[in-house]
Chains A and B, each alone.
Chain A
Amino acid sequence: MTAIADALREAAALVAGADPALAAIVALSLQVSLAAVGVATAVALPLGALLAVGRFPGRRALVVLVNAFMGLPPVVVGLLVYLLLSRAGPLGELGLLFTPGAMVIAQTLLVLPIVAALCRQAVEDAWREYEEQLRSLGASGARAALTLVWDIRFSLVTAVLAGLGRALSEVGAVIIVGGNIEGVTRVMTTAIALETSKGDLALALALGFILIALVTLFNAAAQLVKEAAERRYG
């Protein structure tokens, strides 16, 4: 118990001290994960909506695949992206390995199935309510899907938050493709891994608490937005 209490105190001290190295690590974590969630969401929302509303051959197989990939092991994704981006690999020319760009790519792949699967579920539920009326008005597959996604946009926030949570908390992918280079590709989770392996458990735990606090803040903000929107739009 004292270890946890110490860590909480250290976390508070770190935040209060506004250590620039810590700030850089937090900023990079946010940049990488938010960018990954941004790209993933842009692809995953239309994908999820089309899976919910469309009827095409192979749809069921695709749904199963997307659901299954929600549980992709981050370290496996990291390994695959590393092999792609390595100089010895097909995309080596891009020189993306060991850069934040590579981390964004890896996290995008991790987040995409989560947002897509949750979006598909939400849109499917909404489609049951809206389908007849939309078809009566003449909205076709893609048009209907987009209308639905926009109409349930506030409940989709939950899907996006799930993706963000996953991105901010994973370490297996970013440590392989980023290399945990100090000042370049070190993010909160890889810093925690490093401090743990150095035996500085108090610091590692402190960083962990800061990470948890950050994720909680995001969720709180999103909840407030949702509630305000529900009051406005019904």
Chain B
Amino acid sequence: MALIARIALALLAVVPAGAGGEERFITVASTTSTEQSGLFRHLLPLFERKTGIRVHVVALGTGQALDLARRGDADVVLVHAPALEEKFVAEGWGARRHAVMYNDFVVIGPRSDPARVAGTRDAAEAFRRIRAARAAFVSRADRSGTHLKELEIWRDAGIEIATEKGPWYRETGSGMGPALNTASAMNAYLLADRGTWLAFRNRGELAVLVEGDPRLFNPYGVILVNPARHPHVKKEWGQRFIDWIVSAEGQAAIAAYRVGGEQLFFPGAGR
């Protein structure tokens, strides 16, 4: 009996410890693509060692991450959807948007390339060809930064995808990884951020077919959740994180991150 009581106490110690009494930490809402690229695992220990502040990253789609911040469940957001970020700040949920880094999107597709897009550097043109060929295309359809960029390109291509989609257009409502898994299994085209693609291990027949279009520029921003709207936000520590990540040290750490020898993210602070 006494033994059972002791074990029970040890197990229940999980609960109060979890309430985050003693530990110094901030909650950062970010995107699945950023986390899955492995950047945080490389970056955050540097910040933590320097300041003693731990960073808890909750990774969701961009839309969800911003919603989370609106509800006050995060201290900082780090996402890649400039239009949504501006709106977030304009509505008063965020203090200020700081540019952090950028990389690019790439159009991924099967090596067999039924829509013949390989070689063009025009993403909109590539999308037009995919639509014309009714080639299988996987869309994340989850209000993520990637999804929003995809919709932008359809618009640029003069295609109203909401009405013009057909069975060839597969909306998975999922993160980048699962969407890539689906595309790999279906030999479909999709738009992906380079970071997730480089870290993705289940490529099957897929390869990068279109890159380099300025449209495919993918900037990341970081925003402190407005303490005026959510007084409990850890504004001091959150601001220190932002200050660090845009500082020379933080920017250098971002540039130093490689996967398979390739750089995933490029310093973009101050742009």
Q: Using a CB–CB distance below 8 Å, which chain A residues touch chain B?
A: 31-32, 34-35, 38-39, 86-89, 92, 94-104, 179-182, 184, 194, 196-201
Contact = CB atoms under 8 A, between A and B. Distances in A.
Given A197-B175, A197-B181, A88 B71 contact: yes
Given A31-B14, A199-B200, A95 B181 contact: no
Given A32-B14, A98-B58, A199-B202, A87 B19 contact: no
Contacts of B125: none
A198 B17 contact: no
Contact of A35 (B14, B57, B71, B184): B14
B15 A100 contact: yes
A100 B73 contact: no
A198 B179 CA distance: 10
A95 B22 CA distance: 13
B143 interface: no
B57 A101 contact: no
Nearest to B27: A98
Given A35-B11, A179-B56, A198 B36 contact: yes
Given A31-B11, A86-B72, A101 B56 contact: no
B36 A181 contact: no
A83 to B, nearest CB: 9
Contacts of A35: 11-12, 14-15
A197 B15 contact: no
Q: Which of A32, A104, A180, A197 has the most CB of B within 10 A?
A: A197
A98 B177 contact: no
A36 B50 CA distance: 36
26 contacts: A31-B11, A35-B11, A38-B11, A39-B12, A86-B71, A87-B230, A92-B72, A98-B56, A99-B19, A101-B19, A103-B18, A104-B15, A179-B56, A179-B58, A180-B59, A182-B40, A182-B41, A197-B175, A197-B176, A197-B181, A198-B36, A198-B200, A198-B201, A199-B184, A199-B200, A201-B202
